[in-house]
Structure 1
Amino acid sequence: MSDYGHPLEFGSFITPSAADPTRVVALTVLAEQAGLDLVTYQDHPYQPGFLDTWTLLSYAAARTSSVRLAANVTNLPLRPPAVLARSVAALDLLSGGRIELGLGAGAFWDAIEAMGSPRLTAAQAVQALEEGIDVIRQLWDAGARGPVRVDGEFHRVVGAKRGPAPAHDVGIWLGAYKPRMLALTGRRADGWLPSLAYLKDGDLAAGNRIIDEAALEAGRKPADVRRLLNIGGRFTDIGRGPLTGPAEQWAEELSDLALTDGVSTFILASDDPDDLRRFAAEVVPAVREAVAAERAGTTRSPAAVPAPPAAAPGAAGAARSPFSVTPTSDDGVRRSSTVVWDEQTRPAGPAPDPDRTYTPHELAGGRHLIEVHDGLRGELAQIHDLIDQVEAGTIDVGTARSHINTMTMRQNNWTLGTYCESYCRIVTTHHTIEDRSLFPHLRRADPRLAPVVDRLEQEHHVIHEVLEGVDKALVTLVSTPGALPELREAINLLSDTLLSHLAYEERELIEPLSRLGVQ
């Protein structure tokens, strides 16, 4: 068992596709908004279908503010280490210390040679990488005396001035699989970054042994090397194989990799916005909780995905209090002259029982609905900001549209309700969508809610049509630059409908959710 005790981190591995560059950036922004720690991109400079990774990193750093960024991994044979060191340091300074350095010795040598770099044997490539690391570290060591001096067989940098130093201690993570590279990782690197798809059973443990032994021989501690892992998989309702199943299966498997094989950074390879959201919202918290519990010596199962159960009235063992969750009010401000529904005809549900009390778990159900809605309200503010940027000329219409199309409100089509799409998956990921649908449950549990549920479903479909109108206005603006007022009107209508609907849904559902739970 090899838990090196590193804090857990989670990231994304996004394809740097040149066919739709604005989508690549939109997925990067989405990863940051979802709360992931890291965004990475593969680096294949010989691949014409990909954006240049270092150009992309610079652009992505300017479009984000907190997420860390890295190549996964940098192709050193086509990136001279002295120039690369200064590129990394400069971008780290410009981004406020958010750049890490994944490094690889090179693969696909036919393509590398075609781009002008000499072909190396496996042993030569590892030696060249070690020399490259020397060059990079010396150039970053701006406070050391004298110029850089690395007189290697493959990299000779003698007399170069040092600096600039990066804004923080940039981690050097090696993509390593074979014994030579693993030993180099233990001697010189800050992290080991393989891909799970390329590993066989036992390879993580064997790699850890080689890295640990090499670290100790070099006078280092095994824990000086963070263990990172690129992962891929598919979310399904039932388990169908490793990392193919519901969120709790993912959480159990990743927790085991953390506690048994010492992996502390999990990087999900996916270009699916919904996968990134689900990974961040459902898997990440569960893994953090399970690993923390194990490290603290408790017995919580790594598979447990937190969810508030519905306790029966008068349940023993839990303090109870009156209903204390406050719905978000509708401020009544309307930006559009278009009216898509009559708010006065909205039915109301049953009045809460003034004598009923609620456990903290029960109250958490209603609070979660508000949290989900706050996320949507935040996305609405982002849409207004994007349109302001289009009007100011700082981004183009295509970029704005790509960002909007990765938002939660564009992914769920408003057919089952945003609450069910996020919360019900956490509570009952082994059920089918129909079984865990929120609205049928509320109808069954309290038939008095049926008119409210019917109205909410009708409004979901209206909001979907309003969103389609925003998208059509964006498309029109591409060919008709003077159509910005029509886009503004579409956004204003979206604000009116969305904010009104969310306030109504909270007013009518947060108490029933706390009272009835989610089955």
Structure 2
Amino acid sequence: MGDYGRALQFGVFLTPDAGAVDRALHVAEVADAHRLDLIGVQDHPYQKRFLDAWSLIATLLARTEHVHVFPDVASLPLRPPAVLAQAAASLDRLSGGRVELGLGAGAFWTAITAMGGPARTPGQAAAALIEAIRIIRAMWSGSGPVRVDGEHYRVHGAQPGPEPAHPIGLWLGVLGPRLLGEVGRSADGWVPSSGYVPPNELADKHARIDRAAIEGGRDPADIQRIYNVFGTITGGASRGFLHGPVRQWIDQLTELVLEYGMDTFVFGTDGDDPDQIRVFADEVVPAVRSLVTDERS
């Protein structure tokens, strides 16, 4: 493991709180104005306090000009893959190519089934995600008709389209060995969160992705590594990983690039704090870019 040499990207992790719509829109405008690369939006349709992720993503795209927006990550069991592909491609065209697709196999199964979704074992959820990737790729291909006869999804003769405005990144938010292998075989990126995969666990998961990529004839460096990171930029002493002053953030994110293989950081703040996002964008991001450039050269 180590630095894959990819271009760096930075973004913000947005909470789709139905009780704080104005804050969500303001955070998106701050991210766009300060030229961050990404906004990630949680997708938990069963959470009564949350806005529908795709409705919010469409609104954020309409209120911004530069930033790319993606579900972080879409709940596959409640979003049929052919329709999900069409929604992502449609918004990509409407926004001038500013949509990416984070996709998860599912979690919180009691809540999913309460909304009419399927109850899946871990093995079934993995198999369904692999089938969904085939369908989504085929729906974006512009050539058809699409035919995938899977155990969980059967698409027989669907007409693909619309085609996306740009090659949408298909990023998987997965943790298990089988689906990490699928990242290496067929995905464009991997989206773990620091709360579930701390830095000391990244190497093993990168290795699983890389082995599968190499076995499939792919270069592991072609796979984007997106890290949802949660913490606080403070004016005082360090209180642990990503809880401390600007200098600590610069050093730790630089280390995550050069030593731990990550290249994209989506920053989640307590309460979606726009002041934290401004400091991140204005003080942390340019310094990390500069340090990484210097080390690479």
Work out whether 1:132 is the aligned partner of 2:132.
yes
Please list every run of 5 or more consecutive structure 1 residues that lacks an aligned counterpart in the other structure: 297-519
The aligned amino acid for 2:126 is V
The aligned amino acid for 1:43 is D
CA distance in 2, matches of 1:2, 1:128: 32
CA distance in 2, matches of 1:269, 1:70: 14
CA distance in 2, matches of 1:171, 1:201: 23
Q: Using CA pairs below 8 Å that are at least 6 residues apart, which structure has the higher relative contact order?
A: 2
> How far is 1:191 from its partner?
0.4
CA distance in 2, matches of 1:212, 1:30: 36
Work out whether 1:123 is the aligned partner of 2:123.
yes
> How far is 1:201 from its partner?
5.0
What is aligned with 2:46? 46
> How far is 1:107 from its partner?
0.2
The aligned amino acid for 1:241 is G
Query: Residue by residue, what CA displacement relative to the aligned partner does 1:196-250 show, whole Å, maximum 9, x if unpaired?
Result: 1112453100000000001111121111211110001112222221111110110
Work out whether 1:78 is the aligned partner of 2:78.
yes
What is aligned with 2:166? 168
What is aligned with 1:267? 266
Give the TM-score of the pair, scaled to structure 1: 0.56
Query: Residue by residue, what CA displacement relative to the aligned partner does 1:133-156 show, whole Å, maximum 9, x if unpaired?
Result: 1100001000x3x41011000010
What is aligned with 1:245? 244
Please list every run of 5 or more consecutive structure 2 residues that lacks an aligned counterpart in the other structure: none
The aligned amino acid for 2:227 is L
CA distance in 1, matches of 2:43, 2:168: 18
> How far is 1:70 from its partner?
0.4
CA distance in 2, matches of 1:235, 1:97: 32
What is aligned with 2:204? 206
CA distance in 1, matches of 2:104, 2:127: 12
The aligned amino acid for 2:204 is A
Distance 1:201 1:170, change over 3 A: closer
CA distance in 2, matches of 1:58, 1:141: 22
> How far is 1:252 from its partner?
0.4
What is aligned with 2:217? 219
Question: When the two structures are aligned, how many residues end up with a matched partner?
Answer: 294
Whether the aligned pair in 1 keeps the contact of 2:199 and 2:256 (CA below 8 Å) is no
The aligned amino acid for 2:95 is S
CA distance in 1, matches of 2:216, 2:148: 19
Work out whether 1:189 is the aligned partner of 2:197.
no
Query: Residue by residue, what CA displacement relative to the aligned partner does 1:399-448 show, whole Å, maximum 9, x if unpaired?
Result: xxxxxxxxxxxxxxxxxxxxxxxxxxxxxxxxxxxxxxxxxxxxxxxxxx
Q: Secondary structure, in 3 states, of the residue corresponding to 1:241?
A: coil
Quick one: percent identity of the two aligned structures? 53
TM superposition outliers: structure 1 runs of 4+ over 3 Å: none
CA distance in 2, matches of 1:190, 1:201: 21
What is aligned with 1:235? 233
CA distance in 1, matches of 2:35, 2:91: 22
Structure with the larger helix share? 1
CA distance in 2, matches of 1:232, 1:282: 17
CA distance in 1, matches of 2:199, 2:273: 27
> How far is 1:34 from its partner?
1.6
Point out the structure with max Rg over C-alpha: 1
The aligned amino acid for 1:27 is V
Q: Secondary structure, in 3 states, of the residue corresponding to 1:51?
A: coil
CA distance in 1, matches of 2:32, 2:268: 15
CA distance in 2, matches of 1:48, 1:210: 36
CA distance in 2, matches of 1:290, 1:169: 29
CA distance in 2, matches of 1:216, 1:72: 26
CA distance in 2, matches of 1:181, 1:275: 34
The aligned amino acid for 1:242 is F
CA distance in 2, matches of 1:51, 1:183: 32
What is aligned with 1:450? none
CA distance in 2, matches of 1:82, 1:235: 41
CA distance in 2, matches of 1:245, 1:2: 24
Alignment of 1:101-500 (within 5 A): 101-142=101-142, 144=143, 146-236=144-234, 237-270=236-269, 271-296=272-297
CA distance in 2, matches of 1:115, 1:71: 19
The aligned amino acid for 1:106 is G
The aligned amino acid for 1:104 is G
What is aligned with 1:336? none
CA RMSD of aligned residues (A): 0.9
CA distance in 2, matches of 1:70, 1:162: 21
Query: Residue by residue, what CA displacement relative to the aligned partner does 1:45-86 show, whole Å, maximum 9, x if unpaired?
Result: 011100000000111111111110001000000000000111
Work out whether 1:56 is the aligned partner of 2:56.
yes
> How far is 1:7 from its partner?
0.4
Q: Secondary structure, in 3 states, of the residue corresponding to 1:197?
A: coil
Give the TM-score of the pair, scaled to structure 2: 0.97
What is aligned with 1:347? none
| Structure 1, 197-206 or 133-142: larger mean CA deviation | 197-206
Whether the aligned pair in 1 keeps the contact of 2:199 and 2:260 (CA below 8 Å) is no
CA distance in 1, matches of 2:166, 2:2: 28
Work out whether 1:27 is the aligned partner of 2:27.
yes
CA distance in 1, matches of 2:268, 2:73: 13
Distance 1:201 1:164, change over 3 A: closer
CA distance in 2, matches of 1:83, 1:176: 21
CA distance in 2, matches of 1:183, 1:87: 26
